[in-house]
Structure 1
Amino acid sequence: MYAGVDPVTGKDSYLSESTRDEKKIPEIRSRLLAKVDRQRNAATKATLAYTLDAWMEVHEAGESTLDDYRALIERTIAPALGDVPVSKIGAHALERFYAQLRRCRARCNGKPFVEHRAADPHECRSVQHRWRPGRPSAKSQAEHDCVVAQCKVVECADHVCKPLSAATVRKVHFIISGALAAATRWDWIASNPATEAKKPKQTAPQPKPPTSEEAVRIVAAAWDQDEDWGMLIWLKMVTGARRGELLALRWQDVHLGEGVLEIRRSFTQRRGKAREKDTKTHQMRRISVDPDTIDLLQQHQRRCQSLLEQLGIPYNESAFVFSYEPDHGRPCNPDGISHRYAKMCAGLNIASHLHTLRHYSATELISSGVDIRTVAGRLGHGGGGTTTLRVYTAWVAQSDRQAASILANKMVRPGATPPGTSGQDS
C-alpha cells in the first residue's frame, strides 16, 4: 500500500501486510488504507540514530548537558538501537533495553569474556619497559629487572559486569523519549512509545556532607595552603553556591556595603572551551553574607588590588573574584578547583568532594531551623523548594523532631508538677 514519500530518504514509502487467506485481503486493504489516512504508521524509515541526530540539532540545553547527551548516545544508545527504524521501536523493546543496562552497561549475555582494550590485532599481555631497548642510553640498553625498574604490565582483563545507575538509565530514557517526541511532531511516527515504557524508579538522593568537625579541618587546611584558596572554600561553605557560579563572580557582583552577593552567571570549561552562561535555573539571585564573610572578602579584595598595583595593572570592577591570572581577567579552571579540593581532603583523610560543601551548607541551615523556601532560595533550587525537600528529606525530618521537642518542653504533662513550684500547698 503506497504511503507517500519518505521525508528523510525522498523515496516512495509502502506499507505491507501478508496473509495466507485470500478472503482477508479486503480487510487488510481497509486496515492499511486507514493507517495511511490517519498516519498511524510511520511515514519514514528513519533510524533512531538519524532521529537522535536530528533532535540534537534542535534541542535547547546547556553546552555541558548536550555534551553529556552526546556521550550517552555514542556510548550507550546508538550501539544498541541506533540502526532500528523508529517505526519499529516499542515500549517493550525500550523496557528490555533499560533492564539490560541495569544488569550490565555492556549488555553482556552473562557468559565470561575478555574485554580487549583495542579492536585491532594486539598482544593481550604486554610489558611497557621503563627503560626501552634501543634508546641512546647505556642504562636503557642494559638488561634490567622489570620488578625493580617498575615496568608497567598492560593486559586485557576479564569482563566484570558494571550496571548503569538508575539515574543514568533515566537520563537515557529522557534522551530517547525526547527524540521520539520530536519524531511524533514531525509526523515520522504516529505516537511516542517512550511515554508508555516504564522507566527506572528515581532513587532517593543520599547526600553525605562533611561533619562540622570535618568542615573546620577543611577550612583550616585550605587557608594554610593559600589565602585565596581558603577564601574560595569558605565562600563555598557559607553560600552553598554551585562551583561555576562562584567562579563566575565578578567584583561588581559583590556588594560589601549591603552584605549581598549577586549570582548572575555560571562559568564552565568543556573540551578546552571556556564560556559564561546563565545559572542553572536561568535566574539571578541575591545571597546575604554574614559580617565575618564580608570582612574576609574585603581582605581578599585588598590583596587583589595590591597585586594589581605591583604589576601596574589598573583595578577593574569587572575582574573575577577568583582567578589565577595576574589581572584576574579569567576565572579559575573548574575541574582544577575540584581536583585540588579532592587532593586536599584525601590528605586530611576526609571522604569529600567539592559539591558536598553545597550539601553541608543546606544541611546546616535546615538543621538549625531555617525554613525550606529560604534554603532553596540560597541554593538556587527551582520549584519553590520541591528539589530541596526531595534531596534533604532526612534533615527536614531531623528539624521536625527538634520542633516537636521545643513544643513539648514548653508544655506540662498532666499530673506533673509545674516548673517553679514545690508541689506542696502553701
Structure 2
Amino acid sequence: MTVRESGALDVERIREDFPVLDREFDGTQLVYLDNAATTQTPNRVIDAIGDYYREYNANVHRGLHQLSQEASIAYEEAHDRVAEFIGAAGREEIVFTKNTTESENLVAYAWGLRELGPGDTVVLTEMEHHASLVTWQQIAERTGADVAYIRVDQDGYLDMDHAREVIDDDTAMLSALHVSNTLGTINPVADLVDLAHDHDALAFIDGAQAVPNRPVDVEAIDADFYAFSGHKMAGPTGIGVLYGKQHLLESMGPFLYGGDMIEKVTFEESRWNELPWKFEAGTPSIAQGIALAEACDYLDEIGMGAIARHENELAQYALERFAEFDDIETFGPPAGEERGGLVSFNLDSVHAHDLSSILNDYAVAIRAGDHCTQPLHDKLGVAATARASFYVYNTREEIDVLVEAIDDARQLFA
C-alpha cells in the first residue's frame, strides 16, 4: 500500500520506485525539486517502454503481422486509458501529441486560423505560459483578432470581476491555466469555462500542472479542449495529450498531413481518417503513449486526491520555512491557501540563477528563470524567480535541506 490509514502517502515506499532518486553527487544525496519542469519516472513506466522495444516493436496501423497488431492494440488502448484517467468519453476525444505546447498549437492552427477574424477576441490570463500566450498572439496577428488578458491580483489570484468584464460577446476563445506553473495558483477553471460558454465562446484549459497531481474530470469542467504532458506526470518525454470534445474535433481540419491520418487519397483529393487518428500524422510516439497509460495506472493506484494533499502540504511547509527569514520573498497565494505543489521565491541580493547554481553544489535541483512566463514576471517586477516544485516522492526533510543550502548561499553573498 502506498497510502496509510491516516491518508498520508508512504513516501519512503514510493521513493523506491524511482531509481534516479538514489543518485549522489560527490557523496551528497540528490534532492530533486524541479518537478514542475519534469517529474522523475518510476521503474514500471521505464519497463513499459523497454517491453515495447524488446517484445513487440513495430509500427501501428500499418501491418497485418503479429507485432504490428500487438503494438496497434496497445497504442489504441493507451488512448482508452488516458480518456478514463481524465473523465473523457472515449478514445475519439484523446489525441496524442508531443507535449502541451503542440496541443495548444494544434487547436490554434486547426481551429483558430479558420474561425478567428477581425472583431474576435482571444482571452488569456496574465499568468499564461508562453505555450498559450505566444501561440495565440501569433494566431491573432495572422487573423486580425484581438488578445485580452484577465488580471492577476497581488496574491496571485485571477481577478474574476475583471474576467467577467473581459469575457464578452466578442470573445471567441478563452485559454487559461488550470494551475499556474509560476504562482502555484489553482484557477477556478469550471467558472471560467462557464463564463466563456455564456458568451458562446470556446474554452481551452492548460492542465500541464494539474493532471499530474490532482483529480481532473474534463466533462465536469466542461472544457472544450484540455491539454497536458506525460513527462510532468511520471511518464516519458515526447508524449502529450489534447482532449477535445468529439464534435469539435470532427469539425476541425488536420494540423499535420501525411501517413495514417488519411482514409483515402487520390491524385485529386484526400479524405481524413476517423478520430483521433486524423490528428496523429506519421509514425506516432508509440512507446511513449503506451508508457503514459502505465503512468496513469501508477498514479491512480497511489490516489490522485492523496497526491494533491501531499503536494499542498509540502508547499505549505516550504512557505512556513521561508517565512522564518526576512530576506526571502515568495510569490503566489499566501500560506494557508491551497495551491499546487510549487513555491517561487527570491533571496534578497542574490539572482535566482546564482542561487540555483549554488544549490546545485549541494545536489539540490530547482528551477531558476522566468519559467516561460515573462509577462507575469514583468508584472511582478522581477526578472527571474527561483522555483522549488514538489511531487509524490518529495519529503519535508528535503525542504529542510533546501533551506539549509539557501542559508549557505546567503552567507556567501553577505
- TM-score norm. by structure 1 comes to 0.22
- Which of 1 and 2 has greater Rg? 1
Q: Which has the higher contact order (CA 8 A, sep 6+)?
A: 2
Normalized per residue, the structure richer in strand is 2
Normalized per residue, the structure richer in helix is 1
